[in-house]
Amino acid sequence: MSRFLNCALSPESLAVVGRELDGMFEQLFGAPQTNAKSAENGAESERHLRAAAHIWEKDDQLHVHVELPGVKKEDVSVTFQNGSLVVSATKHSPDLGEHKTWHNTIASGVYKHRIAIGDKFNADSIEAALNDGVLKISVQKKPEVQPRRVEIQ
């Protein structure tokens, strides 16, 4: 136990632990719901959805791919605040008019994904694109934290 307490934890490793805990709670208790409306009036409830994400670092960039199937570009927001990338998106259910649903497992609701990246990345270099239901984000490392080769004289 003391060996664990003596090790230094980076923001990145804490973010990984946070995502793992979120996933475990979601598996145990289901996705949290907010603004739920009664089923008697047939109104749709707004649910918090969990998007699958792949986050990796290569060379001088951080890459993030977030799966957002059925989400339109105008319903996606990427912001950077307090050392974190925040991805927000809304997936609307289709307007089918008056109908009787037989079966529906297509979720609609709000995605919110916070990725702690710390201060070693340049917030001004963030680029994002949504293609085929995958949001692709890239962020450049700050020049001062990139490895620098020193020429030997």
CATH of the domain at 123: 2.60.40.790
Q: 108 or 9: which carries more pLDDT confidence?
A: 108
Distance CA 83, CA 108 (A): 29
**Into how many domains does the chain fold?**
1
* Host domain of residue 59: 46-93+108-145
Task: State the average pLDDT for the chain.
Answer: 80
Give the separation between CA 32 and CA 53, rounded to whole angstroms. Answer: 19
Q: Is the pTM for the entire model greater than 0.85?
A: no
* Structural domain contains residue 123: yes
Rg (C-alpha) for the chain, rounded Å, is: 20
Chain segment 130-142, per-residue pLDDT in tens: 999 999 999 998 8
For 45-119, list the strands marked E by DSSP.
Answer: 47-49, 53-58, 61-67, 76-81, 84-91, 109-116
Residues paired with 134 in a beta bridge:
67, 131
pLDDT tens-digit series, residues 88-103: 999 998 888 898 888 8
Backbone angles phi, psi at 151, to 5 degrees: -80, 130
